[in-house]
Amino acid sequence: MMKRLMAHTGLWLLALTLLAAAGCRESLLDQVPKLSICLEIPQTALTRADEGRVPSEAAAENAINTLQIWVFLHEAGGGFPAGTCIGYIAPEPLFLSDGSENRYAMPLNPKVAEDHPDVDVYVLANAASAGYPNLNAETTRDQLDALVMSGDIFGISGNAPVCTAVPETGLPFAGVGKGMKMKGTYPVLTVDSVTLTRAVSKLRFVFSQLVDEEGPLNDCSVTSVTLDGGGIARAEYLFNDSAAAWKIAAGQYETASMTFPGLTADEIACSATPEDYAFDGQTALEYETLIRQGIAAGELTSCGLSYLRETDRQLTGTISYVLNGVPGTAEFSMKDPGDFARNHSWIVYLYFTRDAIQFTVSWTLWEEGHDFILTD
């Protein structure tokens, strides 16, 4: 009798176990699958100055005021054709914590989640500053691929840069990853990271003059600063999915040159050692910090600060000056074509010594934007 009771008890336990397992499986299938999105703002990575990354001069250059993320099918999956938008989020309010994770969840269609198709991920910040305030969940992949910045958007107007300060809407940031593997287990899936970088670059000129205990050693002035025409792209694609550091409309460049106002002798800052601010192989962070400190100390004068579209060409220009009544010119250029691709910072520094001028040119990657990591 006892054996029979134990046998029945075992059958009941087995039945309950099977029911529990079935219940767990059913509960799992009932869960809404999602793509968990982790936004992470990394610390600055340092390399050599001509390949490094520099910190932004102001919080405004780093500000992310709006954020939009689209995910499209790179290939057919879940019964939907390639190019279908399977997820869109524009988090509001937008809270970003420097140095820590920022998580968002994007719901997925269950059939898509089960198929694990490859996807295309587009990330855009501060879209209004790029001229596109009305992008939304209805925006297609083809439309995003076709977005360009042109005309007055970080361009040239009347021989002057249009944007000489960070817009209230911020600088545009963009990033795209195509053909990305969807990984993970149901109901939470992941893809690799997408890096968001500024879609524009920064240019500025810096000046100084030698001084001793009796005052400036020379009578000097800068009559004009000119960036030659034919360099800045007339149209720049917002999303760069190419193998190059830039993506511009081929063969189309702004023909107008850019001319910046000159500086009188009184407007040129003085330093007992102006050569200390010349680029001399420092890391990107060291040199950018040195220049900022010199400006703050009143030993350097900055002019011509501007935010511009990128180019694959080698930018050139001329600084005209007068030194002790004798006019002269100094020509400057970037080292290589492509040194003014998006997310670069370019500094031209000219200083007056006892009876001559000296100048240096440096170009660095701006601080790497913000890493937007799609993860679990």
The model's pLDDT over 48-57, given as tens digits with 9 standing for 90+, comes to 334 456 655 6
Classify domain 201-366 by CATH architecture: Sandwich (2.60)
Task: Tell me the per-residue pLDDT of 112-151, one tens digit each, with 9 for 90 and over.
Answer: 999 989 999 999 999 999 999 999 999 999 999 999 999 9
CB-count exposure of residue 93 (10 Å: 0-12, 13-18, 19+): exposed
CB proximity list for 220: less than 8 A, separation 6 or greater: 209, 265, 268, 321, 322, 323, 324, 352
Return the minimum-mean-pLDDT range out of 44-53, 143-152, 154-163: 44-53
Residue 157 pLDDT level (bands cut at 50, 70, 90)? very high
Q: Tell me if 374 sits within 8 A of 35, measured CB to CB.
A: yes
Q: Note the pLDDT of residue 179.
A: 95
pLDDT at 57: 64
* Strand partners of residue 71: 87, 121
For the cut 50, the answer to whether the pLDDT of residue 14 exceeds it is no
Which segments of the chain belong to CATH 2.60.40.2630?
A: 201-366
Q: pLDDT (tens digit, 9 = 90+) per residue, 222-251?
A: 999 999 999 999 999 999 999 999 999 888
For domain 33-199+370-374, give the fold: Immunoglobulin-like (2.60.40)
The least confident of 25-29, 211-215, 352-356 is 25-29
pTM exceeds 0.75, yes or no: yes
* Number of Cβ atoms within 10 Å of the Cβ of 43: 10
Q: Which has more pLDDT, 280 or 79?
A: 79
Which whole number is the average pLDDT over 333-360? 90
Over 80: is that where the pLDDT of 158 sits? yes
Token pair, residue 225, equals 């600063």
Residues sharing a CB contact under 8 Å with residue 169, sequence separation 6 or more, in sequence order: 65, 66, 126, 128, 129
Higher pLDDT, 359 or 41: 359
C-alpha span between 32 and 53 (Å, rounded): 41
Let me know: does 75 contact 117? Beta carbons within 8 Å. yes
Whole-number mean pLDDT of the chain?
A: 83
Q: Determine the pLDDT at residue 138.
A: 97
| pLDDT tens-place string over residues 61-117 | 888 889 999 999 999 999 999 999 999 999 876 666 554 456 778 899 999 999 989
